[in-house]
């Protein structure tokens, strides 16, 4: 009887140990441990920031005896920005729920060495090859004398084909990784290459397509259709000059002219005198809402004052990399969109005389037509 009880006790203890081992293993896989060994002043604040589902997540640690540690449960593999309180340098890397070791010095913060986690090293290998192709492109431009802005020049077409080949090959070989989606963002979003992006996206695994960065690619691919005439304008909420939140939904029942611009965009600011004239003429029939893509609040406010813009002024500090620009499908400025009282898009990308003529026809047409 004693032996039976002893056996049962041993079995119970064994099962309990196994349970804790499994639980501990699960806990470890659901959280990331970032350990840093940096040369720097005692008490330096090390801050880690990442963005997920439209929100900025921030965590921090204090440098003690040249060491710091962060325990973070990331929602998925994410791009992180590491900064410090001593200087303005940052380090951008890809973090996942694994052990990550960071080494270097605060003085050379941008050159920190990141070890641990396959996604970061995988994406770095892609970027190294991409940088090499960019270097070759610059040499071709210098040799040929072609204009860098000419998207039909032989050097650009050659570069575009090489980048596409590199990206497509990378995605096919790593189709279950987050790095594959990031490679597509890097290669296609800024140049508006939706067809090439769609082709590469088709090779992602179903699991990879569920990631936030893959969803951003899908949104980019679909946006050209989503912002066509007759579709609902994507909703957003941004702050005005006084820091007050303003929603596009607040303007339901009114026509709205959304003008996306930035202080650093000469064509945007060249359009302001016409907008002032049109706002004076049609301001009682259509709401003018300017949306600045300035990262600098000061630059935005100075430009508003200098250009004497008197209507609603909003700012998206995420610039053309933010959710608003993504939802409207633009990376280049200027861009505009006219929304009807039902919240539907009636026109996009109207500038100068085209915009003037459209508003004239919209508000001066005979009643009943």
Q: Are residues 89 and 177 in the same domain?
A: no
Is a pLDDT exceeding 50 seen at residue 22? no
Which of the two residues, 7 and 344, has the higher pLDDT score?
344
Instruction: Summarize pLDDT for 60-106 with one digit per residue, the tens.
Output: 999 999 999 999 999 999 999 999 999 999 999 999 999 999 999 99
Q: Are residues 248 and 340 in the same domain?
A: yes
Q: Which residue's entry shows tokens 């009636």? A: 346
Q: Are residues 280 and 335 in the same domain?
A: yes
Instruction: Summarize pLDDT for 108-126 with one digit per residue, the tens.
Output: 999 999 999 899 999 999 9
> Which residues on neighbouring strands pair with residue 95, listed in sequence order?
78
> Which residues on neighbouring strands pair with residue 50, listed in sequence order?
57, 80
Q: Are residues 256 and 323 in the same domain?
A: yes
Q: What is the reported pLDDT for 30? A: 66
Q: Are residues 124 and 106 in the same domain?
A: no
Residue 11 located in a structural domain = no
Residue 6 located in a structural domain = no
Q: What is the reported pLDDT for 28? A: 39
* CA dihedral (293, 320, 339, 357) positive or negative: positive
Q: Which residues 6+ apart lie within 8 Å of 30 measured at CB?
A: 73, 97
Q: What is the reported pLDDT for 10? A: 47
d(CA 301, CA 262): 11
Q: Are residues 242 and 349 in the same domain?
A: yes
Q: Are residues 241 and 357 in the same domain?
A: yes
Residue 107 located in a structural domain = yes
Average pLDDT over residues 41-47: 97
Structure-token pair, residue 65:
């005896």
Q: Are residues 52 and 92 in the same domain?
A: yes
pTM of the model: 0.78
Is a pLDDT exceeding 80 seen at residue 7? no
Is a pLDDT exceeding 80 seen at residue 367? no
Residue 335 located in a structural domain = yes
Instruction: Summarize pLDDT for 178-224 with one digit per residue, the tens.
Output: 999 999 999 998 888 899 999 999 999 999 999 999 999 999 999 98
State phi, psi for 318 to the nearest 5 degrees: -75, -10
Residue 16 located in a structural domain = no
Q: What is the reported pLDDT for 365? A: 72
Which residue, among 215, 130, 207, has the nearest Cα to 174 in the 3D structure? 207
Name the domain count of the chain.
Answer: 3
Range of the domain at 167: 119-226
Q: Are residues 146 and 40 in the same domain?
A: no
Examine the fold and report which residue of 116, 138, 161 is the final residue of a domain before the chain moves on.
116
Q: Tell me the H-state helices in 117-201.
A: 118-144, 154-173, 178-184, 194-201
Examine the fold and report which residue of 175, 193, 226 is the final residue of a domain before the chain moves on.
226
Q: Are residues 356 and 245 in the same domain?
A: yes
Helix (H) or strand (E) holding 68: strand 67-72
Confirm if 46 and 68 have CB atoms less than 8 A apart.
yes
Q: Peptide bond before 334: cis, by omega within 30 degrees of 0?
A: yes
Examine the fold and report which residue of 86, 116, 146 is the final residue of a domain before the chain moves on.
116
- The CATH number of the domain holding residue 33 is 2.60.40.10
Confirm if 42 and 64 have CB atoms less than 8 A apart.
yes
Q: Are residues 132 and 207 in the same domain?
A: yes
Across the chain, what does the average pLDDT equal?
90
Residue 1 located in a structural domain = no
Q: What is the reported pLDDT for 41? A: 96
Q: Are residues 109 and 125 in the same domain?
A: no
What secondary structure letter does DSSP report for 233? Answer: P
Q: What is the CB neighbour count within 10 angstroms for residue 220?
A: 22
Q: What is the reported pLDDT for 331? A: 86
Helices (H) and strands (E) in the chain, counts: 11, 15
Residue 306 located in a structural domain = yes
Confirm if 94 and 123 have CB atoms less than 8 A apart.
yes
Is a pLDDT exceeding 70 seen at residue 12? no
Confirm if 336 and 265 have CB atoms less than 8 A apart.
no
Instruction: Summarize pLDDT for 268-291 with one digit per residue, the tens.
Output: 999 999 999 999 999 999 999 999
Residue 198 located in a structural domain = yes
Q: What is the reported pLDDT for 23? A: 38
Structure-token pair, residue 196:
């090439």
- The CATH number of the domain holding residue 255 is 3.40.30.10
């Amino acid at each position: 009887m004693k032996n039976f009880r002893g056996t049962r006790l041993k079995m119970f203890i064994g099962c309990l140990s196994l349970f804790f081992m499994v639980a501990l293993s699960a806990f470890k896989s659901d959280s990331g441990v970032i350990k840093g060994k940096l040369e720097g002043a005692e008490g330096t604040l090390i801050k880690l920031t990442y963005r997920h589902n439209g929100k900025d997540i921030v965590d921090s640690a204090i440098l003690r005896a040249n060491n710091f540690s962060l325990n973070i449960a990331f929602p998925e593999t994410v791009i992180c920005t590491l900064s410090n309180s001593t200087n303005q340098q940052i380090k951008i890397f890809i973090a996942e729920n694994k052990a990550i070791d960071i080494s270097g010095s605060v003085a050379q913060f941008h050159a920190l060495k990141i070890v641990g986690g396959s996604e970061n090293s995988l994406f770095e290998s892609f970027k190294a090859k991409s940088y090499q192709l960019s270097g070759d492109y610059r040499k071709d431009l210098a040799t040929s004398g072609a204009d860098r802005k000419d998207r039909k020049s032989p050097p650009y077409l050659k570069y575009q084909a090489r980048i596409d080949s590199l990206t497509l090959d990378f995605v096919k070989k790593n189709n279950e990784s987050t790095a594959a989606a990031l490679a597509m963002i890097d290669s296609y979003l800024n140049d508006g290459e939706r067809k090439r992006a769609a082709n590469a996206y088709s090779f992602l695994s179903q699991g990879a397509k569920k990631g936030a960065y893959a969803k951003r690619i899908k949104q980019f691919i679909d946006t050209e259709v989503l912002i066509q005439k007759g579709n609902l304008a994507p909703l957003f909420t941004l702050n005005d000059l006084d820091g007050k939140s303003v929603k596009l939904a607040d303007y339901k029942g009114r026509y709205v002219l959304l003008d996306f611009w930035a202080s650093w965009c000469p064509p945007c600011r060249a359009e302001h005198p016409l907008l002032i004239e049109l706002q004076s003429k049609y301001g009682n029939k259509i709401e003018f809402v300017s949306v600045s893509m300035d990262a600098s609040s000061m630059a935005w406010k100075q430009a508003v004052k200098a250009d004497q813009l008197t209507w609603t002024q909003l700012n998206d500090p995420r610039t053309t990399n933010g959710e608003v620009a993504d939802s409207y499908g633009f990376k280049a400025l200027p861009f505009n969109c006219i929304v009807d009282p039902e919240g539907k898009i009636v026109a996009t990308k109207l500038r100068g005389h085209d915009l003037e003529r459209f508003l004239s026809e919209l508000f001066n047409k005979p009643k009943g037509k």
